[in-house]
Structure 1
C-alpha cells in the first residue's frame, strides 16, 4: 500500500505528463491544457474514473500491466517510465523481458574501447558484453573463450581463474555476494534462476556460498592477479553503471 505522499507524487506526475500531450484531433479552445482524462484513458485502455483517482492521489490498485499501458499512452521516456513504476511501487514487466536482454548500449561499448587499461562491460546476467584488448589479454579463458563469457562461470568453474587470482576463494565469494545484490532485482527471471541452479549444481563452493546469503555492494578496490606471461599485477577496480541502462556495468581496472 502506498503512503499518502507517494500517492500524491504519483498523481502529480501523471497529471503533469497528461497535460503536456497534444490531443489527437484538432479542436477549439480547451479549458485545460493537453489531453482530457477521458482521452488519456481511451489511449491507455483504462477507465476514466481510475485515471482520475490516480491523479487525485486516492488509494487505488495499479497493476503493472495497467501502468505499462499508461506509460505508453503518456509517451514516457525510459527514465520517466522507471520513475512511474517506482512511485507506484511496482516492477516493470518490460524491464524483465526484452529490454534487459538487448546488446550493450553504444555508450558502454565506446567507453570500453576508449581506455587503454583493462575494461569490460557486464549485462544483468554478468555475461561480458564488450571488452578491450587489454582485458582480453588479462583474462585468459574468459574473454577469449568464445560463446561462454559469464563471469560467475569463469570464476567458479575455470581452472585458469584459480591460477590467475591469488586469493581465489575469497574473491569468488565476494563476487557472488556482489552478484546476489543484482539477483534481488530479478527474482522472477526464469533465465536467472536457471543460471544460478546450474552453478549450484556444478560448483561446491558456489552452492555453499550461495546458501550463506552474503550480499555486498560492488565497491571496487585493489585487485591482484598472477598472469602466466606478465607475472604479478595489481589494479584498482572501479565499477560504473550507465545512467540510461542500469542493468549494465562498466568495470575498469586502473594500474595500482
Structure 2
C-alpha cells in the first residue's frame, strides 16, 4: 500500500567549506608549467599538488592543507594575499577569496581614484543621492542631497561628513530625522554588519571608540550587539523651512568598489 503522505522534497546540500572548495578548484585548474614548475611524472590528478601551492605561496604545506580542508578560520590577510599571488588569481577572484574568508583586502583599489566618476554618477540623479565609503564618510553627493542634508553635507561640523558623527553628535539631527531614536539604533546595527570585515581596521575602531565616548545613545546601541543589513525603506525628515519630507530610500553597492554604498532618496510622490 502506497504512503498517502507526500514525501518532503530533498534539501540541496549546502557547501560547508566554500573557501576550501574554491582553492581546490583553482589548484586543479593550474598546470605546473603555468607557474614555472616542471611538469613531473605520474600525476594522479590534474592541476597542482597542495605541496606545490604551499611552496608558491611561501607557507607551510600543513598550514595550506588545513586552510583548504576548512580546519581553521584564522587565516590572516597576509596569508590570503600570498595565496592569491601563488594561485595567480585575477582581481575579481582575489576579491572573492577575501570575501569567502570574511577578511577585508588591504590592497583593494583606491576609492580616491574613482571619486570623479562617482561624482558624475550622483550628479546624474535628479533626487537626493550620495555615496558613503567604508567608514561611512560621504565622498560624493548631488545638489538635492546637499539641500536636504544641509547640516551634514553643506555645512559639516567638526566631525566632517561622517554619517554616524552627524546622526549622533550634531545637535540638530534628532529634530531633523523623524523617529530619530529608532533610526539611530538601526544605523548602528547596520554599521556593525556593514563593517564586520573591517573589525581590525584602526580607523573603524577609533570611530567607534570616539562615538561611544561622546554619545550615550551610540554606546547603548553598540552594546546591544544588534546586526542588521543596510536596506532601503521609508525615510522622513523635518526641515525648518519646508516642513516634513518623505522619501523611499534605495541603497546599492558600487560594482568596482563593493565597500562603497550609493544611496538614492526618491520623494514619496514619485515612489
- TM-score scaled by structure 2? 0.74
Q: What pairs up with 1:139-178 in 2 under 5 angstroms?
A: 139-146=149-156, 148-178=160-190
Paired residues of 1:220 and 1:237 also in contact (CA < 8 A)? yes
Q: 2:112 aligns with which of 103, 111, 118?
A: 103
Verify: 1:70 aligned to 2:120, yes or no. no
Could you tell me how far apart the structure 1 residues matched to 2:168 and 2:19 are? Answer: 43
In structure 1, what is the equivalent of residue 96 of structure 2?
83
1:114 shift after superposition: 1.2
Equivalent residue of 2:254, what SS? Answer: coil
Could you tell me how far apart the structure 2 residues matched to 1:63 and 1:179 are? Answer: 24
Paired residue total = 246
- Where structure 2 has 5 or more consecutive residues not aligned to the other structure, the ranges are 1-14
Structure 2 CA distance for partners of 1:210 and 1:58, relative to 1, 3 Å: closer
In structure 2, what is the equivalent of residue 115 of structure 1?
125
Equivalent residue of 2:249, what SS? Answer: strand
Paired residues of 2:54 and 2:64 also in contact (CA < 8 A)? no
Could you tell me how far apart the structure 1 residues matched to 2:18 and 2:205 are? Answer: 35
Equivalent residue of 1:115, what SS? Answer: coil
Structure 2 CA distance for partners of 1:199 and 1:59, relative to 1, 3 Å: closer
- TM-score scaled by structure 1? 0.78
Paired residues of 1:235 and 1:255 also in contact (CA < 8 A)? yes
In structure 1, what is the equivalent of residue 148 of structure 2?
138
Answer 1 or 2: higher relative contact order, Cα 8 Å, separation at least 6.
1
